[in-house]
């Protein structure tokens, strides 16, 4: 089922300032940036390490591009900070169904496109002890789309 912590999503007001903090403080470099119009965010993925299953662990920094996006609403209510925890899985479809069968609300009927060509879904935080939880199947390395810096 779940193979690793894929990433920690951190909501921020200013992506460039937050990237600079993680670079200057911890030495993390940006691996990928993109704007996800569907989710209404501009994001930067900072690679922490690789894993034995071919995946990696990341910090995902999220800046809303619209106030009405889920991250924009969350920031308005909570301020900057940890927005969600994401677990890697080889099969987001099967694992989201398995979790749904255990009574956990899955927020998307079908997984959607996530960062770097991944497939994702979210689990309701009220069913996960207050933690917005994401399930992620990473795209094969050769399928990761190139994204221009923003």
Q: Which residues pair with 121 in a beta bridge?
A: 135
**Positions marked active-site:** 7, 43, 60, 84, 134
Which pLDDT value is given to residue 149? 47
Cβ atoms < 10 Å from Cβ of 146: 7
For the CA atoms of 65, 71, 72, 77, what is the dihedral angle to 10 degrees?
-160
Higher pLDDT, 75 or 138: 75
- Mean predicted confidence (pLDDT) in 104-130: 95
Q: What confidence tens digit (pLDDT) does each residue in 4-56 have?
A: 899 999 999 999 999 999 999 999 999 999 999 999 999 999 998 866 555 67
Instruction: Provide the pLDDT for residue 146.
Output: 52
Q: Which residue has the higher pLDDT, 65 or 57?
A: 65
Does the pTM surpass 0.85? The reply is: yes
- What's the confidence (pLDDT) of residue 147? 47
Between 90 and 52, the more confident residue is: 90
Of 50-59, 104-113, 129-138, least confident by mean pLDDT is 50-59
Parallel/antiparallel/unpaired status of strands 81-89 and 133-137 = parallel
**Region 115-136: what's the mean pLDDT?**
96
Asked if pLDDT for residue 150 goes beyond 70, the answer is no
CA distances from 74 to 22, 91, 94 (A): 21, 28, 28
What superfamily does domain 2-143 belong to in CATH?
2,3-Dihydroxybiphenyl 1,2-Dioxygenase, domain 1 (3.10.180.10)
Among 84, 71, 97, 53, smallest CA distance to 12 is for: 71
- Report the C-alpha gap between 50 and 22 in whole angstroms: 18
């Amino acid at each position: 089922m779940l193979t690793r912590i894929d990433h920690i999503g951190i909501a921020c007001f200013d992506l460039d300032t937050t990237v600079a903090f993680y670079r200057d403080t911890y030495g993390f470099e940006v691996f990928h940036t993109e704007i996800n119009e569907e989710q209404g965010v501009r994001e930067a993925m900072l690679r922490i390490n690789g894993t034995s299953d071919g995946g990696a662990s990341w910090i995902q920094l999220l800046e809303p591009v619209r106030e009405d996006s889920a991250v924009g609403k969350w920031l308005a209510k909570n301020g900057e900070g940890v927005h969600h925890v994401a677990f890697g899985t080889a099969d987001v479809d099967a694992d989201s169904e398995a979790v749904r069968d255990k009574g956990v609300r899955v927020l998307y009927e079908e997984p959607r496109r996530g960062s770097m060509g991944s497939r994702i879904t979210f689990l309701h935080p009220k069913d996960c002890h207050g933690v917005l939880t994401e399930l992620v199947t990473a795209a094969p390395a050769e399928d990761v789309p190139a994204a221009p810096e923003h």
